[in-house]
Structures are given as C-alpha cells and as structure tokens.
Amino acid sequence: MDKIFEFLQSRVFKYFIAAGLATVVDVGLYYLCFNYAFDKQPVNLLGSFVLKATTASLIISYSCGLVTNFSISKFLVFTDSDMKTSSAFFRFVMVALFVLILNYFFMNFLIHQLEWYPTFARAVSALSIGVLSFLFHKFFTFKVSSLKKS
C-alpha cells in the first residue's frame, strides 16, 4: 500500500495526470470549436486567408492544451524548478513541437511499416513519446540549477 501511495505522489504520475487534463482541454475545445464556433465551415481570416475548420480548431485547442499542460506542470509537478516562467514556457513550447514531430513520424512508422492499427499505434506512440517528453521537461524545461540541488 505504501508503494501505491508513493507512486501516486511521484512526479511521473503527476506529470501524466497533467498531460491527461491538458488532453481533455485540447480535445474538448477542438470539439466545441469545430462543431459550434466554426460550425464545420472554413474560417476566413482578414478577408484573404482561409483555414479549414479542422485546422483552425486544432490551432486553438492545441494552444490551450499546451498552456494548460505548462501551467499544471510548472506549478504542481516541477515545483522545485528555479527557471524563470518565460524561459520555461519557451522551452516547453520547443519540447512540445519536437514531441509533436516525433509523434507524427513514430505513428507513421508503426502504421505504414509495421502495419499496426492506427488507434493502437496512436496510443503506443503517445505513451512512448510521453515518457520522453517527461524526461525533456524534467532535465531541460524545468531543470533545477546546481545551486538549488545542494
């Protein structure tokens, strides 16, 4: 029982809870934007630039999910980080974009080379890359200075 409680208090568990909540925000906003805000219709920006409703919804939902994940990670998961918030946010965005690209290529490999079912490939990719993402955030985005460690 102590091991279970210890795991629930761990940074890894908290990080995956933060990522899960951010995913709920992302997917929920995507649904609302696509179906209601944009009514599944193209979005006309400044009269000359048109985005598909799917793309506009993704930009809004992914951005909000990213900010949600950053906020929870910064203030509830990596609380011992002494990195300035603006620097940490910039690093968080860089890691998020890198992870997005990794997910894309890893999923394509699993689907097209190994012929995995797409939904299963997405789940495996998300979990695998999620562990890598945690490590990037722990040792890069929210790293603790050597002065604070001692």
Dist. CA 2–CA 34, nearest whole Å: 45
Confidence of residue 147 (pLDDT cuts 50, 70, 90): low
pLDDT > 60? residue 132: yes
Q: Which amino acid would we find at residue 33?
A: C
Dist. CA 20–CA 133, nearest whole Å: 13
Query: Model pTM greater than 0.75?
Result: yes
Structure tokens at 123: 């789940």
> In this predicted model, what pLDDT tens digit does every residue of 59-104 receive, in sequence order?
898 899 999 999 999 999 998 888 899 999 999 999 999 988 888 8
Task: Assess contact for 49 and 103: CB atoms under 8 A.
Answer: no
Task: Assess contact for 95 and 133: CB atoms under 8 A.
Answer: yes
DSSP run (H or E) holding 89: helix 85-108
> In this predicted model, what pLDDT tens digit does every residue of 5-16 receive, in sequence order?
787 788 888 988
Angle between helices 118-136 and 85-108 (to 10 degrees): 150
Rounded to the nearest angstrom, the gap between the alpha carbon of residue 32 and the centroid of all alpha carbons in its chain is: 19
DSSP run (H or E) holding 25: helix 11-32
Dist. CA 57–CA 140, nearest whole Å: 30
Q: Taken in order 17, 60, 32, 52, is the CA torsion positive or negative?
A: negative
Angle between helices 53-72 and 11-32 (to 10 degrees): 150
> In this predicted model, what pLDDT tens digit does every residue of 14-66 receive, in sequence order?
988 999 999 899 889 989 999 999 999 999 988 888 988 888 888 898 899 99
Residue with tokens 């929210």: 142
